Chains A and B, each alone.
Chain A
Amino acid sequence: MMDYLKKKFVSEHLDVKEILLVPIFATFFALTIGCLFLLATGEGLKNIFIAYSSLFIGSLGSLNALSETFTAATPLIFAALGIALAFRAGLFNIGAEGQMIIGGMAAVIVGFSIDFLPVWLHLPLALSVGALFGAMYASIAGWLKASTGAHEVISTIMLNLIAIRLLDYMLRSPIIQKEGRNDPISKSVLNTSELPQLLSFIDPQLRLHAGFLVMLGTVLLIYWLLFHTTIGYEFRSTGANPNAAKYAGIKATFTIVLVMFIAGALAGLAGANQITGVLGRASPGFSASIGFDAIAVALLGRSHPIGVLFAGLLFGALIAGGRLMQVKAGVSVDLITIIQALIIVFIAAPLLVRRAVPWIFKEDIKKDK
């Protein structure tokens, strides 16, 4: 299965057609089929038009829309980068959700418990402790794989379950639980550990925060790591051909632990980003399945950092636009889930896309034969 996924979802070099055109057409077809779904559920054509124009306006049509798109995309991209990186090295990291939870928990504890640091120390500390704990948590799966051969898919799924329950438990511990509350909810982080809002000078309700910039920097950093360092070379060769990597003297065990460590750090950063940039506190389900949606983002982005960036922005746009769609057209938010799933289907079957618009992919089709 891994080989199949790799063939479908790993793009070794930045190929504009592969990374941009296929997803764009996939999105287009998904929207078209989504439209058929709406017709089938008895929506009128006018309402469908309103739904889709709101999807567009709600994601790109205003400053607030863009702010929402970017805010929703940021944690997805952080976590998806980690999944993509592991995928490059031949590991299927299903555990981003759990790593996010652990990272977010660590960030929230640093965020509310340290009250003597200035913002320029406190915030980076909260983010890096979040990343570190996510990294350590993911390393467990890496270590299990390297030392015993335990399959990372199984172990990361189990670690997700543990993380979810651990979160429930910790949110009730007196040190973490908010004073005067019975329900599982953490104390709020202090102002000094909050990611500053970027557009509050225009309108304090624009939620876009500095985590977006950290994310952009991280995309470049991961790109550099993957393509311009020996570590990236080792990751890529281990993933692309483990036999050749072994032949080249690359130690698979070390590579596995290291790549899981970095993947976990990125997922942990996604959690810390949500805590310090959006939520301000932790509660059950604060990770909001972002760690799972990020798997789709990583696959859609062909496990290439730049591809992941665009895929994440697309998913962010669907989330933000889906909200306005629900408001204006009264269409269920489940349609967005269907559209996301359809996009993945079309990406997984690029031949479908190519056959549908043969004039764009003329040469490629011949090559396929």
Chain B
Amino acid sequence: MKTLTKKTISAAVVASLVGLSSAAHAFTACQVTDIGGVDDKGFNATAWKGVQDAVAKHGIDSKLLESKSETDYMPHLGSFVAEGCDVIVSVGFLMGEATATAAKENSNSKFSIVDFAYNPTIPNVVGQVFATDQAAFLAGYLAAGVSKTGIVGTFGGINIPPVTVFMDGFAAGVSHHNEMKGTSVQVLGWDPSAKEGLFTGNFNSLEDGRAFAQNLYDEGADIVMPVAGPVSQGSAALAAELGTDNLMIIGVDADQYIKDAKNKSVYLTSVLKAMDATVMGVIESVMDGSFEGGLTVGTLANNGVGIAPFHDLSSAVSSELAAEIESIRSGIIDGSISVN
């Protein structure tokens, strides 16, 4: 009897404590990461920065669930629905199906997914996609202009549209440079017409990042753009060993000069996807009641995409080249230059 009372009391304490935390219910924005984890220095991290920016600006609550495997996606989304999140942000193309299923089953909850567009759209999901090829085009042009060997390289995580769109833009930027300047800079690792190229098959092996960059370097490339989340840190480590005279890296998603501080000096630039801005935009739309399912597209024009400053390597970029890039940027925005 005595033990029973004890148990009842402690159960009550548990209930009240847990109850307390949810009773003081503020607006809560929740994010589910894909298997890269929140510290991937890539899109999971950038999207989470958007959530944190909203927390700082509006004093809302935030919650995070990191997926360890694909089997986590559905239950993680379900947990947040049960938790009563006001908006649930999922990150990554690979979560597309799980997010759609969860959204259809819970039509009262509001979702937003980074890097996925539904066709047709779902009324309670905002897809956030990015005209990454526009920014990657600039990076490709830059790389072609900076390369001394006349060979640049790229590789991806897996062959899916949000990855290959970088590589498409990059290759197109290089050929634009070849056309304009009469150069014959080669792109290794991606064939835009065949849609085939180099892929590590994962988004987490730094060892692969090193090995793939080494292969490209051995083939003569002196600038490499890895499109594989944290894998690129392995490539950066290699570049730091070889020295930037031999190998430079172009980062993706966020400004890797800031994110990957250990090897920051090897980044020529980064192809930016301002997911933090779009994520925060979606959160604000839920807060002010203007949320509507559909699509937001980040472009050069609305600063949803862009390229990062050259930082330590600005000396490698001639002022003419920098000026050409600026004029191409305006050309893309006004439509006079096509990135395809």
Task: State the A residues within 8 Å of B (CB).
Answer: 46, 49-50, 53-54, 56-57, 64, 68, 168, 182-184, 204-205, 207, 274, 278-279, 283-286, 288-289, 320, 323-324, 326-328, 330, 332-333
Asked whether B18 lies within 8 Å of A330 as measured between CB atoms, the reply is no
Chain B residues in 8 Å Cβ range of A283: 70, 94
Decide: A327 near B79, CB < 8 A? Known: A53-B17, A204-B105: yes
Closest-CB distance, B200 to chain A (whole angstroms): 11
Number of A-B contacts (CB under 8 A): 77
Asked whether B75 lies within 8 Å of A284 as measured between CB atoms, the reply is no
Asked whether B18 lies within 8 Å of A328 as measured between CB atoms, the reply is yes
Asked whether A286 lies within 8 Å of B71 as measured between CB atoms, the reply is yes
Docked complex Cα distance between A254 and B63 (Å):
54
Decide: A288 near B64, CB < 8 A? Known: A49-B17, A53-B17: no
B71's nearest neighbour on chain A, judged by CB, is A288
Q: Does B2 make an interface contact (CB < 8 A)?
A: no
Asked whether A182 lies within 8 Å of B195 as measured between CB atoms, the reply is yes
Task: Report how many residues on chain B are interfacial, defined by Cβ distance under 8 Å.
Answer: 33
Which of these, B66, B70, B161, contacts A279 with CB under 8 Å? Answer: B70
**Chain B 76-115 against A: per-residue CB contact (8 Å), 1 yes, 0 no?**
1011101100000000011000000000010000000000
Docked complex Cα distance between A46 and B75 (Å):
26
B66's nearest neighbour on chain A, judged by CB, is A333
Docked complex Cα distance between A328 and B61 (Å):
12
Which of these, A49, A168, A323, contacts B76 with CB under 8 Å? Answer: A323
Docked complex Cα distance between A330 and B31 (Å):
12
Chain B residues in 8 Å Cβ range of A332: 66
Closest-CB distance, A340 to chain B (whole angstroms): 12
Asked whether A183 lies within 8 Å of B63 as measured between CB atoms, the reply is no
Asked whether B71 lies within 8 Å of A64 as measured between CB atoms, the reply is no
Asked whether A182 lies within 8 Å of B159 as measured between CB atoms, the reply is yes
Closest-CB distance, B296 to chain A (whole angstroms): 22
Docked complex Cα distance between A288 and B67 (Å):
11
Closest-CB distance, A183 to chain B (whole angstroms): 4
Chain A residues in 8 Å Cβ range of B105: 204-205
A-B contact pairs, 20 of them (CB 8 A): A50-B17, A53-B17, A56-B14, A57-B14, A57-B18, A182-B160, A183-B93, A183-B158, A183-B161, A184-B159, A284-B201, A284-B202, A288-B68, A288-B72, A323-B79, A326-B65, A327-B65, A327-B79, A328-B18, A330-B64
Q: Does B74 make an interface contact (CB < 8 A)?
A: yes
Which of these, A53, A68, A286, contacts B18 with CB under 8 Å? Answer: A53
Closest-CB distance, A173 to chain B (whole angstroms): 14
Other 15 A-B pairs with CB < 8 A, given A50-B17, A57-B14? A68-B75, A182-B159, A182-B161, A204-B105, A278-B74, A284-B158, A288-B72, A323-B65, A323-B72, A323-B76, A324-B79, A326-B64, A332-B66, A333-B65, A333-B66
Q: Does B164 make an interface contact (CB < 8 A)?
A: yes
Closest-CB distance, B78 to chain A (whole angstroms): 6
Docked complex Cα distance between A133 and B74 (Å):
28
Asked whether A285 lies within 8 Å of B75 as measured between CB atoms, the reply is no
**Chain B 31-67 against A: per-residue CB contact (8 Å), 1 yes, 0 no?**
0000100000000000000000000000000011110
Asked whether B69 lies within 8 Å of A183 as measured between CB atoms, the reply is no
Task: State the B residues within 8 Å of A (CB).
Answer: 14, 17-18, 21, 35, 63-66, 68-72, 74-76, 78-80, 82-83, 93-94, 105, 158-161, 164, 195, 201-202
Asked whether B158 lies within 8 Å of A184 as measured between CB atoms, the reply is yes
Chain B residues in 8 Å Cβ range of A285: 35, 69-70
A172's nearest neighbour on chain B, judged by CB, is B159
Asked whether B21 lies within 8 Å of A327 as measured between CB atoms, the reply is no
Asked whether B14 lies within 8 Å of A53 as measured between CB atoms, the reply is yes
Docked complex Cα distance between A335 and B276 (Å):
28
Asked whether A330 lies within 8 Å of B164 as measured between CB atoms, the reply is no
Decide: A183 near B159, CB < 8 A? Known: A205-B78, A207-B75: yes
Asked whether B70 lies within 8 Å of A286 as measured between CB atoms, the reply is yes
Closest-CB distance, B275 to chain A (whole angstroms): 20
Docked complex Cα distance between A184 and B200 (Å):
13
A178's nearest neighbour on chain B, judged by CB, is B97
Which 7 A-B residue pairs are closest in the complex by CB-CB distance?
A288-B69, A183-B160, A53-B14, A288-B71, A323-B79, A333-B66, A326-B65
Asked whether A326 lies within 8 Å of B71 as measured between CB atoms, the reply is no
Asked whether A327 lies within 8 Å of B63 as measured between CB atoms, the reply is yes
Docked complex Cα distance between A184 and B157 (Å):
12
Chain A residues in 8 Å Cβ range of B195: 182
Docked complex Cα distance between A168 and B158 (Å):
10
Chain B residues in 8 Å Cβ range of A183: 93-94, 158-161
Closest-CB distance, B10 to chain A (whole angstroms): 9
Decide: A54 near B164, CB < 8 A? Known: A288-B69, A289-B69, A332-B66: no
A68's nearest neighbour on chain B, judged by CB, is B75
Closest-CB distance, B94 to chain A (whole angstroms): 8
Chain A residues in 8 Å Cβ range of B160: 182-183
